[in-house]
Amino acid sequence: MIDPEPLPHLPGCYIFKDAEGAVIYVGKAKDLKKRVSNYFQKRDLDPKTSALVFAAHNLDFIVTDSEVEALLLENALIKKHWPKYNVRLKDSSRYASIHLTDDEFPRIHLSRRRTGKGSFFGPFVSARERDYIFQVVRKTFGLRTCRRLPKRECLRYHMGACSGPCIGKIAPESYRERVARAESVLKGKTGELIGTMKEDMTKLAGEQKFERAMELRDEIRALESLQDRQHIERQKRFDEDVLSYIVEGESVYLMLFKVYKGTLEGKEDFVFAYGESFLEEFLVQYYSENEPPEELIVPEPLNESLVEFLSHVKGKRVRVTIPKQGEKRKLLELAQKNVEIRFFGDRKKLVALQEALSLPKAPNVIEIFDVSHLAGTFTVGSMVQFRGGRPDKKGYRRFKIRTVGGIDDFASTAEIVKRRYSRQKEEDGEMPDLIVIDGGKGQLWAASQELRKLGLSIPVISIAKREEEIYVLGRLRPLPVKKDDKASLFVQEMRDEAHRFAIKYNRLLRKKSISS
């Protein structure tokens, strides 16, 4: 079951994933926690939503600064992943831009292809919003839409929707002034333009040029109405990666935002051991497998040799920016906010588990074991690792059972626990703060005996599937923890991930057996 408790009361996007980790639904919310909680509190869900809730095994989210940013991000994520339960529209009109040509009397029109001379503006929040902005700008500034200048005026001129450059009703410099104002609006600088136009209107009225002053008044009113609705995505011709991190104890918690031509399309997060040159090591490893962006936005300077390495992989110079203010600084702060919420929001789960199990400290590293088989054949074991409250897939391990024949979950559990920790002990590897076994008292006892033989003193618990009961050593009865408590939900989440990983390996072996 998905636990919405770690979600913040902030705007953003939530992402439901199935048991295989595939994105099946992307949604936006003004309040992430309230919105996602509704999925699991309502009883009268429609069939499609019920199917979504049943299929959802994991939840991810990205915090944004506003609901509008959440809308933009939602659209970008849907276009990227095409989730099963989102509405799929074949129309790509959202991506049409507004084009201002560079003719003597520039033409304004809608263009699905960003080719040709002139300036392009967009993409927009929606096709409807784009069309509204296009109509307001076209009418307000009287810009032409005809492909070629005709030799006589058209109906649009007689309706007052065009300034009539075709018949010389407006001088080229006056028309260019209108085009410049239109560009300011399309760039999102409506507020600045309105201020300038109000000053011009006052000046014209003082000079008793009332007709032009009234024209400016009408233009200002149209732009003020537009200003309340105008939401154009950031216009960039290159890609950016935004990187932020927090060092806590011996671990680094890092978030990487992927910005594609000005639109935030997603993020990746990482947890790894702290080292003196951790950032350099991360960047070298990550961009050895992924193409670097044209601009990398980071919180601290990088040495020149690292920048040269990134530029070599990219094939051209990579610009590294450490912003102090402005839009890029806001992106960096947003990434930082997501690091804090993503990683340290999970602390509540760890603290709840610590309290429920009476542990001396919150279990930062947890390893969970499960056994899977098909009627006693193809028996396998899985171990998944959670670090800081989240899956750490680099720590996942799988086991083909070697010493057990038939159905014997106790012996199979004992084998994989022994193999895991005897090797960790031999190699002086990291030991977990807590071990979770999928099963009841029998599996718990089998695992604890192997740990005792190895001379290891690690807290170990088990969780039985039917009633989600949690067992600990030394108690005949399960702990008095309700299955919908935060601690229990967290243990269920970890157990389900171990179960998924074990089944995946079991299916792989069966498939190989059939094909061989």
In this structure, the number of other CB atoms found within 10 A of the CB of residue 315 comes to 9
- CATH 3.40.1440.10 placement within the chain: 12-81
**Given this model, what pLDDT does residue 188 score?**
67
Q: Any idea which of 2-11, 292-301, 438-447, 473-482 has the lowest mean pLDDT?
A: 2-11
pLDDT score for 471: 96
Average pLDDT rounded to a whole number, residues 494-503: 91
Segment among 258-262, 368-372, 438-442 with least mean pLDDT: 258-262
Res 438: pLDDT: 94
Confidence of residue 238 (pLDDT cuts 50, 70, 90): low
Domain with CATH 3.30.420.10 in the chain: 240-343
CATH 3.30.420.340 domain position(s) in the chain: 349-515
Q: Which of 260-274, 287-301, 478-492 has the lowest mean pLDDT?
A: 260-274
Q: Is 124 helix (H, G, I), strand (E, B) or coil?
A: strand
Q: CA 328 to CA 459: how far, in whole Å? A: 45
CATH of domain 349-515: 3.30.420.340
CATH number of 240-343: 3.30.420.10
Give the pLDDT score at 123.
60
pLDDT above 50 (res 38): yes
Lowest mean pLDDT among 37-46, 127-136, 163-172: 127-136
- Distance, in Å, from the CA atom of 3 to the CA atom of 490, rounded to the nearest integer, reads 8
How much is the mean pLDDT over the chain? Answer: 84
275: confidence class by pLDDT, cuts 50, 70, 90: confident
Q: What is the pLDDT of residues 44-82, one digit of tens each?
A: 777 878 888 889 988 999 998 887 778 778 877 887 788
Which pLDDT tens digit goes with each residue over 178-207?
A: 888 888 877 767 676 777 778 878 888 888
Return the DSSP state at 394. Answer: G
Residue 232, pLDDT score: 39
Q: Residue 90's pLDDT is what?
A: 43
Predicted pLDDT of residue 488: 92
Measured over the CA atoms of residue 125, residue 113, residue 267 and residue 340, the dihedral's sign is negative
Tokens of 245: 């991190």
Sheet with strand 319-321: strands edge to edge? 263-273, 251-260, 240-248, 295-297, 319-321
Q: What's the confidence (pLDDT) of residue 231?
A: 36
Whether residue 245 contacts residue 338, with contact meaning beta carbons closer than 8 Å, is answered with: no
CB atoms near residue 74 (< 10 Å): 21
pLDDT greater than 70 at residue 167: yes
- The reported pLDDT for the residue numbered 261 is 66
Q: Which segment, 85-94, 247-256, 414-423, is predicted with the most confidence on average?
A: 414-423
**Mean pLDDT score, 497-514:** 87
Q: How far apart are CA 392 and CA 385, in angstroms?
A: 6
DSSP state of 267: E
CATH of domain 12-81: 3.40.1440.10
| For range 121-127, the mean pLDDT | 63
Contact yes or no for 439/409 (Cβ under 8 A) = yes
pTM of the entire structure? 0.46
Kindly report, residue by residue over 387-402, the tens digit of the pLDDT.
Answer: 988 889 899 999 998 8
